[in-house]
Chain A
Amino acid sequence: MRPLTEEETRVMFEKIAKYIGENLQLLVDRPDGTYCFRLHNDRVYYVSEKIMKLAANISGDKLVSLGTCFGKFTKTHKFRLHVTALDYLAPYAKYKVWIKPGAEQSFLYGNHVLKSGLGRITENTSQYQGVVVYSMADIPLGFGVAAKSTQDCRKVDPMAIVVFHQADIGEYVRHEETLT
């Protein structure tokens, strides 16, 4: 468990900023306490200071996880967001996509969102913009990347992919053993 290097921090923040934009600042500078990012087993954990101090008492090899896992650094030092970060991304998300009930299951099985399943989308969503996917009941289901801009979404044919799947809450079941 160690704090992130500046480079790591930058990479991670760039990734997160795709989804929540400048709201990222709210994650770093929280009014309700000190929260920080910690790297442990190549995974980045967003943890409160209090928990971090408690976790400091546990040896590194025994420590499985602490706080909330935001994602992990790949071997190529790219950052990959995990679905566990959804709790922090969803409330701050700038661009959102709501999917129809019929398409929920498909998305939760790890499939991309087709236009036919697109129920609602934030206007001015640009292509390859990180979006948080909600059900029509405003339940965050996951996040992905917009494959088409909002304007393009109007024109594409119904089977076209609108949102590339990145993570969904179905992973809590599917990747239960790897999620930490």
Chain B
Amino acid sequence: SQHFGRPLEDHLSPGVCDQSRQHSETVTLQKILVKEKSGWSRWHMPAVPATGEAELGGSLEPGSALVLFLDLRNVIKYDPSKYCHNLKKIGEDFSNTIPISSLTWELEGGNDPMSKKRRGEFSDFHGPPKKIIKVQKDESSTGSLAMSTRPRRVIERPPLTQQQAAQKRTCDSITPSKSSPVPVSDTQKLKNLPFKTSGLETAKKRNSISDDDTDSENELRMMIAKEENLQRTTQPSINESENDPFEVVRDDFKSGVHKLHSLIGLGIKNHVSCHDSDDDIMRNDCEYDSGDTDEIIAMKKNVAKVKNSTEFSQMEKSTKKTSFKNRENCELSDHCIKLQKRKSNVESALSHGLKSLNRKSPSHSSSSEDADSASELADSEGGEEYNAMMKNCLRVNLTLADLEQLAGSDLKVPNEDTESDGPETTTQCKFDRGFKSPKTPTGLRRGRQCIRPAEIVASLLEGEENTCGKQKPKENNLKPKFQAFKGVGCLYEKESMKKSLKDSVASNNINKDQNSMKHEDPSIISMEDGSPYVNGSLGEVTPCQHAKKANGPNYIQPQKRQTTFESQDRKAVSPSSSEKRSKNPISRPLEGKKSLSLSAKTHNIGFDKDSCHSTTKTEASQEERSDSSSLTSLKKSPKVSSKDTREIKTDFSLSISNSSDLSAKDKHAEDNEKRLAALEARQKAKEVQKKLVHNALANLDGHPEDKPTHIIFGSDSECETEETSTQEQSHPGEEWVKESMGKTSGKLFDSSDDEESDSEDDSNRFKIKPQFEGRAGQKLMDLQSHFGTDDRFRMDSRFLETDSEEEQEEVNEKKAAEEEELAEEKMKALNVVQSVLQINLSSSTNRGSVAAKKFKDIIHYDPTKQDHATYERKRDDKPKESKAKRKKKREEAEKLPEVSKEMYYNIAMDLKEIFQTTKYTSEKEEGTPWNEDCGKEKPEEIQDPAALTSDAEQPSGFTFSFFDSDTKDIKEDRVSVTQAGVQWCNLSSLADNTNSMVL
């Protein structure tokens, strides 16, 4: 054991050496913990060379883990400072250690048959990720694992290290730029080595293995053999994939790259096997994240160390772990005291970073809480919950990306107080400004938490915040709360509601509910609330609100978007606010305040407009706004230069008049006077405007008749409002606009008509003239060009000569020749191909033949083709046969009379009797069946000539005998005759039947 442990210990602190020497067969969990706790920073030193090692190991076979191991022993004798540059030497050593390598090959040979066994099944894509995840699981749960499971890690290590090495390689290009802004401190040195941490982990594990598990080579071998057996039983898939780092696919293999990619992306973050060049960015992100997770882990571990929380050190490094830690951290963040402790512990420069960390942790918890719980479940259940794990990993991944961004922005905070970087900076500035008094850490923390995470978290934390807010009675405290709530829209409403309750202005609730724009609410409320404050603290209030507005969208959107968003908001706000105003005075009990609030609001609108222009720079604009707001607040008169605000004001005055009608009895005369004066002024202004408009209209064509028609359109609105003056004022404008519109439209149509006609001309102009098409057409064109455009000399198709055919023939010949050449060449090439590939000739010919066969098989019957008559089934046979049968029948039928040849002589005398007998027979037939169904008989008779003949055997016999050959026709005639008779009889019998029925 010392053999292994020795070289490593040279670089370790004596304490660690002792521990490593002490190691017994079963290494208790505590020891590991202690080691990790105490020796964290010291473990880095061997870790650096170990990363290089890992890279080398990545290129090695999984079975050669031992080799690595022994190499490590050799390598570590070098000066550790040179390890990174000694890779070549390592390689030499590796080549030199022949017996060891042979040992490994033996091992692999042991593995080989297994892999061969499974080669057939082999659906590989899931293999590697599964393996790694399981490994990680094992690692994470090593605390509870017994000694027997540890050797497995030894075997499983190499692929992992390989991947990690690969990851490192990719990270190298990425992380340095990222790691630069990270603040440096004694405890955070790890952060500066973001990608080395992963290697460190592996190295540490290996070291631990070497320290603990491997006493001698024999023992090791034994263990490995045992483990192999174990794996055979438990984890066949893992082992298989280990044995074959590459897969073998069939010829017709088509890789489901995307599936693979997604799988891997889901499954393993640390694993660098996202390969799509398209998704290179994605992959980079992944690695990036993983690197940063390591970073975070490191940071957190340091923090944890400071805190002496032993639970953290228990867990080894994996993404799951990080999430777990993050969650714990978030738990910690809930406890303000602990946070305070941390702050006190860490340097002032670091404080921001820590804050960011703390902030991060809640956000992390927010998005990954569920994931964590799930992952824990998965842990408890073992390796079965692979899918769940993958899901979790993905989630963690996302959150980490977010965290990264946040961290990056946060880290900049200390440097850039003046600049407006993101939501955090603005909020911080706000804090600095808003809070002069020292805040409790809870408030700050929570405020940030609310800004930070998704809305879900905010909603979760809402209750607490509300309580906190209620504890603070002052307005100033409420404002910061606003800031805290900025991020969350849904919270915003509630917050405003709460405020209104506090302020005991019950009437405002209605307004709020009715108002669609919630952003405006708080501002109005605050102004209303602080009627004493309005003058004094308006300057303070408004910037806060603006900050809110600025921050509201900020938490999701980048600033550029935010500006547009805000401007839109403002635009939307202006009409809505006007509505509000119309409602506000009605509901408000105090009239005296109205003017004040009015001024405030108008100022507010103006303010909004101002802010529209200067939203990009939040910080600077805030200051500007504060200045402007203070200036405007000083102005009592609601004078704003912009037109829209003025109109709104007028609306407001009108609404005031309404309200005055309602509450005239209760109100003071002064108010009435004021309103009246305002009305008068307003009317005057309108009149002036009217005059202007009238003048303008008079100057135009002046269609007085058009007015009513146009007014019909807007008359509804007129009826609604009852306030004629404003409408009148507004209408002329509308009319004018409409008129202009109509004119323009009419012109447009006219012009369009013209265009149509023009287009027709154009179409004629650009019609393709057949006589000028083609080669001959060119000639014609040339001819035409000689004569100019005179119609008389226009060259028609009549002038076309017939030489074009010859030319075409020539061209065709040329083409044909070329084609022949090409075909020849092709044939030659094909011949060569056939000669090159001996199979090819036959195959090609075969193909053709096969194709021909196929086509023959598929021949479609075409009745129009005479050739296809061969495919027809001869229908004639059947009818012929049937005819023959009939003939036979007839013959048979005829034979009967033949029998009575002698009768011929006897009975031929009397034809009368014959006919009578027929009638008689028919009458006989009549009697029985026709009562029931008369319709049946006819078809029967028609269909069965044989029966008929049999009926009329004897008489027909004579006829046949008379007309030998032409029996048919006569027979048919007779049949028809008999039928007619029968029919007649039928009719009569029918009539009789009916009569009898009636009777």
Closest-by-CB residue of A relative to B158 is A158
Known: A122-B249, A122-B253, A123-B250. A159 touches B59 (CB 8 A): yes
Known: A29-B830, A34-B822. A10 touches B247 (CB 8 A): no
Tell yes or no: A13 within 8 A of B by CB.
Answer: yes
Q: Which residues of A contact B709 (CB under 8 A)?
A: none
Tell yes or no: B169 within 8 A of A by CB.
Answer: yes
Q: Which of A104, A121, A138, A155 contacts B247 (CB 8 A)?
A: A121
Question: Which of A19-27, A66-74, A80-88 contacts the other chain?
Answer: A19-27
Q: Which of A143-180 contact B (CB under 8 A)?
A: 150, 153-155, 157-159
Q: Which of A36, A98, A137 contacts B277 (CB 8 A)?
A: A137
Known: A22-B837, A120-B255. A6 touches B247 (CB 8 A): no
User: A95 vs B828: C-alpha distance in the bound complex, in angstroms?
Assistant: 27
Q: Mark B275-286, 1 if CB is under 8 A from A, else 0.
A: 111110001000
Known: A102-B166, A118-B246. A10 touches B836 (CB 8 A): yes
Q: Which residues of B contact A100 (CB under 8 A)?
A: 166, 273, 275
Q: Which of A29, A37, A53, A136 contacts B275 (CB 8 A)?
A: A136
Q: Which residues of A contact B822 (CB under 8 A)?
A: 34, 36, 49
Q: Mark B362-404, 1 if CB is under 8 A from A, else 0.
A: 0000000000000000000000000000000000000000000
Known: A101-B272, A137-B275, A139-B277. A120 touches B829 (CB 8 A): no
Number of interface residues of B (CB under 8 A): 52
Q: Which residues of B contact A24 (CB under 8 A)?
A: 833, 836-837, 840
Tell yes or no: B61 within 8 A of A by CB.
Answer: yes
User: A101 vs B61: C-alpha distance in the bound complex, in angstroms?
Assistant: 17
The answer to whether B257 and A158 touch across the interface, beta carbons within 8 angstroms, is no
- Closest beta carbon of chain A to B166's beta carbon, Å: 4
Q: Which residues of A contact B291 (CB under 8 A)?
A: none
Q: Which of B64, B115, B248 contacts A122 (CB 8 A)?
A: B248
- Closest beta carbon of chain B to A106's beta carbon, Å: 10
The answer to whether B61 and A158 touch across the interface, beta carbons within 8 angstroms, is yes
Interface of A is mostly: mixed
Closest-by-CB residue of A relative to B62 is A158
- Closest beta carbon of chain B to A59's beta carbon, Å: 20
Q: Which of A22, A29, A95, A115 contacts B246 (CB 8 A)?
A: A115
Known: A28-B826, A138-B255. A13 touches B247 (CB 8 A): no
The answer to whether A22 and B840 touch across the interface, beta carbons within 8 angstroms, is yes
Closest-by-CB residue of A relative to B819 is A34
Known: A22-B843, A24-B836. A121 touches B830 (CB 8 A): no
Known: A34-B822, A101-B166, A139-B277. A9 touches B61 (CB 8 A): no
Tell yes or no: B60 within 8 A of A by CB.
Answer: yes
The answer to whether B844 and A25 touch across the interface, beta carbons within 8 angstroms, is yes
Q: Which of A3, A13, A34, A137 contacts B836 (CB 8 A)?
A: A13
Tell yes or no: B882 within 8 A of A by CB.
Answer: no
Tell yes or no: A42 within 8 A of B by CB.
Answer: no
- Closest beta carbon of chain A to B390's beta carbon, Å: 19
The answer to whether A158 and B60 touch across the interface, beta carbons within 8 angstroms, is yes
The answer to whether B273 and A136 touch across the interface, beta carbons within 8 angstroms, is yes
The answer to whether B272 and A121 touch across the interface, beta carbons within 8 angstroms, is no
Q: Which residues of A contact B272 (CB under 8 A)?
A: 101-102
The answer to whether A36 and B248 touch across the interface, beta carbons within 8 angstroms, is no
The answer to whether A136 and B829 touch across the interface, beta carbons within 8 angstroms, is no
- Closest beta carbon of chain B to A24's beta carbon, Å: 6
Tell yes or no: B957 within 8 A of A by CB.
Answer: no
Q: Which of A101, A115, A137 contacts B278 (CB 8 A)?
A: A137
The answer to whether B825 and A3 touch across the interface, beta carbons within 8 angstroms, is yes
Tell yes or no: B839 within 8 A of A by CB.
Answer: yes
User: A64 vs B257: C-alpha distance in the bound complex, in angstroms?
Assistant: 38
Q: Which of B58, B255, B829, B843 contacts A28 (CB 8 A)?
A: B829
The answer to whether A94 and B826 touch across the interface, beta carbons within 8 angstroms, is no
Number of interface residues of A (CB under 8 A): 48
- Closest beta carbon of chain A to B415's beta carbon, Å: 36
Tell yes or no: B112 within 8 A of A by CB.
Answer: yes
Q: Which of A26-74 contact B (CB under 8 A)?
A: 28-29, 34, 36-37, 49, 53
Closest-by-CB residue of B relative to A154 is B244
Q: Which of B170, B244, B245, B275 has the most CB of A within 10 A?
A: B275
Tell yes or no: B832 within 8 A of A by CB.
Answer: yes
User: A145 vs B59: C-alpha distance in the bound complex, in angstroms?
Assistant: 21
User: A141 vs B137: C-alpha distance in the bound complex, in angstroms?
Assistant: 36
Q: Which residues of B contact A153 (CB under 8 A)?
A: 246
Q: Which residues of B contact A120 (CB under 8 A)?
A: 124, 246-249, 253, 255
The answer to whether A6 and B246 touch across the interface, beta carbons within 8 angstroms, is no
User: A49 vs B250: C-alpha distance in the bound complex, in angstroms?
Assistant: 36
- Closest beta carbon of chain B to A46's beta carbon, Å: 11
Q: Which residues of B contact A118 (CB under 8 A)?
A: 245-246
User: A120 vs B249: C-alpha distance in the bound complex, in angstroms?
Assistant: 7
Q: Which of A107-134 contact B (CB under 8 A)?
A: 114-116, 118-124
Known: A3-B825, A34-B822. A119 touches B247 (CB 8 A): yes
User: A137 vs B248: C-alpha distance in the bound complex, in angstroms?
Assistant: 16
Known: A122-B251, A136-B275. A13 touches B832 (CB 8 A): yes
The answer to whether B257 and A136 touch across the interface, beta carbons within 8 angstroms, is yes
The answer to whether A36 and B826 touch across the interface, beta carbons within 8 angstroms, is yes
Closest-by-CB residue of A relative to B116 is A154
Closest-by-CB residue of A relative to B108 is A155
Known: A10-B836, A34-B822. A158 touches B59 (CB 8 A): yes
Q: Which residues of B contact A98 (CB under 8 A)?
A: 255
The answer to whether B250 and A122 touch across the interface, beta carbons within 8 angstroms, is yes
The answer to whether A14 and B829 touch across the interface, beta carbons within 8 angstroms, is no
Q: Which of B30-88 contact A (CB under 8 A)?
A: 58-61, 64
Known: A10-B832, A116-B58, A150-B248. A29 touches B276 (CB 8 A): no
Closest-by-CB residue of B relative to A162 is B246
User: A102 vs B166: C-alpha distance in the bound complex, in angstroms?
Assistant: 6
Q: Which residues of A contact B250 (CB under 8 A)?
A: 122-123
User: A158 vs B253: C-alpha distance in the bound complex, in angstroms?
Assistant: 24
The answer to whether B836 and A17 touch across the interface, beta carbons within 8 angstroms, is yes
- Closest beta carbon of chain A to B125's beta carbon, Å: 10
The answer to whether B273 and A101 touch across the interface, beta carbons within 8 angstroms, is yes
- Closest beta carbon of chain A to B680's beta carbon, Å: 79
Tell yes or no: B835 within 8 A of A by CB.
Answer: yes
- Closest beta carbon of chain B to A108's beta carbon, Å: 11
- Closest beta carbon of chain B to A32's beta carbon, Å: 14
- Closest beta carbon of chain B to A102's beta carbon, Å: 4
- Closest beta carbon of chain A to B162's beta carbon, Å: 8
Q: Which residues of B contact A13 (CB under 8 A)?
A: 829, 832-833, 836
- Closest beta carbon of chain A to B59's beta carbon, Å: 4
Closest-by-CB residue of B relative to A114 is B59
User: A14 vs B837: C-alpha distance in the bound complex, in angstroms?
Assistant: 8
Q: Which of A6, A13, A34, A49 has the most CB of B within 10 A?
A: A13
Q: Mark B18-40, 1 if CB is under 8 A from A, else 0.
A: 00000000000000000000000
30 contacting pairs across A/B (C-beta < 8 A) = A6-B832, A17-B833, A25-B833, A28-B826, A29-B830, A34-B822, A53-B818, A96-B249, A98-B255, A101-B283, A102-B272, A104-B275, A114-B59, A116-B59, A116-B60, A116-B162, A118-B246, A120-B249, A121-B247, A121-B248, A122-B253, A137-B257, A137-B279, A150-B248, A154-B115, A155-B112, A157-B61, A157-B64, A158-B61, A159-B59
On B, residues with C-beta under 8 Å from A are 58-61, 64, 101, 112, 115, 124, 162, 166, 169-170, 244-251, 253, 255, 257, 260-261, 272-279, 283, 818-819, 822, 825-826, 828-830, 832-833, 835-837, 839-840, 843-844
On A, residues with C-beta under 8 Å from B are 3, 6, 9-10, 13-14, 17, 21-22, 24-25, 28-29, 34, 36-37, 49, 53, 94-96, 98, 100-102, 104, 114-116, 118-124, 135-139, 150, 153-155, 157-159
Task: List 14 additional contacts besides A34-B819, A102-B170; criterion CB under 8 Å.
Answer: A6-B828, A9-B829, A13-B832, A13-B836, A25-B830, A28-B829, A36-B825, A36-B826, A116-B245, A120-B124, A123-B249, A137-B276, A157-B60, A158-B60
Q: Across chains A and B, which 6 residue pairs bring their CB atoms closest together, nearest first?
A: A136-B275, A116-B59, A118-B246, A102-B166, A137-B276, A101-B275
